[in-house]
A and B are shown apart, each in its own frame.
Chain A
């Protein structure tokens, strides 16, 4: 065999060996994936076992910490209405009274699933003790000062209950409309102040006697363009003031030339439409005059009108158009709901200094009484 042939045979042999080795390598890789999958499968029960063990450990820790807390102060669990409350034994009577009062005053008749699933912890002490609730349970912690006045404490409890109830509306159109404000009873005098100081033409008309303007101011008129609504809600001056106060004018940079022109025109007071453009483009807030707490008070009013089952109807209609949801809740037309709500607020116009006459009488009477007390003196008995 010539050397050239020998070299060719040797090359062929080396090439054949490498091909066989690559095939064997591929087979080894295939086998390792299979074995890996098999090994993963064997791990699944172990993972499950570890999860169960972790849960058991967490439960044990919870029991331990709860017992530790209970060794500091004994806890009492009681129910008021649909609510479950955990409180230190010394605070339990006060808690029961406050929850009972808040429930009867503000929430009687409300059948709330989220409330049933909630647990409240309550304590009234200088140094609160740890109270543990299962992680899966929605809980709200209420702490009041031991010296706090009862009416204030009831309001704190009512607010906590309201937030818990509001969960049932979460992520709904209604929740967004009321801006997640709690559906507690609102002070109509405070609402009157809000209405009276809201810088809006339509709100002033609402206060002056036009109930339809209240509906407009609440943003309850369907099918109106935002431009048309702006003109109904605010005067030209108010829109200009809103545009400037809202930061639209200041935040406009050179990159947004259209807005810059509109802002300049708005500032120059030359074109009211320019201010609308600034408001519509720059404002990131709801431009409706009456928002948040005022809207929540209207929903609360509708609940009151609806009576039994009103809450369930509100939850049922929470994603419908707001006007429709309110009508469904109250069992009355929207015009009637808004008109009675308006009357309720206007009737509570703050007295400011109105009762100064009677105050004057009592103040003078007590002043004279105090002066009379000063008339007596042991030093003058001899005289």
Chain B
């Protein structure tokens, strides 16, 4: 069953996944473009400044790309189920958890393709220049972080995509309502109650989500290919 799921998913997404994998491979190379000196040539330590500031603007692209790949994989995984009104899935001699697990593992295996692309790209980028003294390249760590972020994004959007459109709309509405109403309520209540002036509920929730043990911690932190 797993092989069928993998094949079906691959057929569904290959035209999208290959460009995404190429983008993941190319992103580390874009980050270092114009920086450093070719291997074998002495790297001026003055360039350490250039490195530190030159790569900063690219760093948010890594988690964004990871989230986009995870979302694409998740939506494509459940796409044909929704199109066929789940008849195929319900006709199989499988329980729901067996079916979902097979589908999820197949998607996770496909997620490794762009993650491997980024890992390879990071290694090629690191090997293509001499680093100034004081700086190190972290291609393996960046590759692992990217893989985890893709998996997490895939898991989150899978959970949403597996449900009905109504469920997805309800979840999205709850989130948006919480952010908007929570912010406005905090603003209004803050004029009357010191606690609300001192504590931003939406901010607290966002911080919890973005820090361990919150789910999105892997998206925060350092995405540097090159750092001290």
CB pair A383 B96 closer than 8 Å: yes
Residues from chain B with Cβ under 8 Å of A347 in the complex: none
Question: B-facing mask of A60-103, CB < 8 A → 1, else 0?
Answer: 00000000000000000000000000000010011001000000
Residues from chain B with Cβ under 8 Å of A225 in the complex: none
Does B16 reach chain A (CB closer than 8 Å)?
A: no
Q: When the two chains form the complex, which single residue of B96, B134, B151, B214 contacts A367, counting CB atoms closer than 8 Å?
A: B151
Which one of B42, B141, B155, B221 has the greatest number of beta carbons of chain A within 10 Å?
B155
User: Provided the pairs A197-B134, A371-B104, A377-B96 are in contact, do residues A366 and B44 lie with their beta carbons within 8 angstroms?
Assistant: no
CB pair A356 B149 closer than 8 Å: no
CB pair B138 A352 closer than 8 Å: yes
23 contacts between A and B (CB under 8 A): A93-B190, A94-B197, A147-B183, A196-B134, A199-B49, A199-B132, A199-B133, A237-B42, A352-B138, A356-B144, A362-B214, A362-B218, A363-B151, A365-B213, A366-B152, A366-B155, A366-B215, A368-B155, A371-B100, A375-B101, A376-B96, A377-B96, A380-B96
Q: How far, in angstroms, from A352 to B117 measured CA to CA in the complex?
A: 22
Shortest Cβ gap from A47 to chain B (Å):
50
Shortest Cβ gap from B127 to chain A (Å):
18
Does A295 reach chain B (CB closer than 8 Å)?
A: no
Q: How far, in angstroms, from A255 to B214 measured CA to CA in the complex?
A: 66
User: Provided the pairs A353-B138, A383-B96 are in contact, do residues A197 and B152 lie with their beta carbons within 8 angstroms?
Assistant: no
Number of interface residues of B (CB under 8 A): 58
Instruction: Please report which residues of chain B, range 47-65, place their CB below 8 angstroms from some CB of chain A when the two chains form the complex.
Output: 48-49, 51-52
CB pair B217 A242 closer than 8 Å: no
Majority DSSP secondary structure for residues of A touching B: helix
Residue of B nearest to A357 (CB): B144
Question: A-facing mask of B107-127, CB < 8 A → 1, else 0?
Answer: 000000000000000000000
Residues from chain B with Cβ under 8 Å of A150 in the complex: 198, 200, 203
* New A-B contacts (18) at CB < 8 Å, excluding given A147-B183, A359-B217: A93-B194, A97-B197, A196-B135, A197-B135, A198-B134, A349-B228, A352-B227, A353-B221, A359-B148, A359-B221, A364-B148, A369-B155, A370-B215, A371-B155, A371-B158, A375-B97, A380-B95, A383-B96
The 5 closest A-B CB pairs, nearest first, are: A353-B141, A370-B155, A197-B48, A374-B162, A199-B45
Residue of A nearest to B218 (CB): A363
Q: List residues of chain A with CB under 8 Å of any chain B CB.
A: 90, 93-94, 97, 146-147, 149-150, 192-193, 196-199, 204, 237-238, 241-242, 245, 349-353, 355-356, 358-360, 362-371, 373-380, 383
Shortest Cβ gap from A112 to chain B (Å):
25
Q: How far, in angstroms, from A358 to B132 measured CA to CA in the complex?
A: 30
Does B46 reach chain A (CB closer than 8 Å)?
A: yes
Question: A-facing mask of B9-38, CB < 8 A → 1, else 0?
Answer: 000000000000000000000000000000
Instruction: Please report which residues of chain B, range 127-175, place their CB below 8 angstroms from some CB of chain A when the two chains form the complex.
Output: 132-135, 138, 141-142, 144-145, 148-149, 151-152, 154-156, 158-159, 161-164
